[in-house]
Amino acid sequence: MNIGEAASASGVSAKMIRYYEEIGLISPVQRNGSGAYRVYGAAEIHHLRFIRRARDLGFSVQEIGALLKLWQDRNRASADVKAIAQEKIAALEIKIAELEAMRKALQHLAAHCHGDLRPDCPILDDLAGTTRDFH
């Protein structure tokens, strides 16, 4: 299987497959007879799917490196994996809270903005720091 086929089979773009190889997330695969083309088998596709799924779940490439190691360590403790997942959950919660705060603040401002042709605008007033309390 060439890289293009591996890409569509795994959901990871050819570009990214080469990149993951370059940074050492996956080891270099075999090449074809002339050594020109990368050749992928079922095991490699499996790896790539793993990576793809982990990316979708929000893990960074570095974290995926750790997960891959654990995946291949038959004696791993499930606690090690769970710890990584829980750190990620905590990070997600922080990020979500930040975005929620932004959303709330913006919605509050937008709710008080006429949104018509008049120039008066509480949103800009807030950004400019000239807000009079409009509660």
Chain positions contacting its own copies, by CB under 8 A: 46, 49-50, 53-54, 56-58, 67, 70-71, 73-79, 81-83, 85-86, 88-89, 92-93, 95-96, 99-100, 102-103, 105-107, 109-110, 113-121, 123-124, 126-129
φ, ψ (nearest 5 deg) of residue 2: -80, 175
The token duo for 98 is 């930040």
Whichever of 14 and 84 has its CB closer to DNA, that residue is 14
Cβ-based neighbour number of residue 67 at 10 Å: 20
Phi, psi of 38 (to 5 degrees): -75, 145
Does 53 bind DNA (CB under 7 A)? Our answer is: no
Contact between 50 and DNA per CB under 7 A: no
State which of positions 76-135 bind DNA (CB under 7 A).
none
Per DSSP, the three-state class of 13 is coil
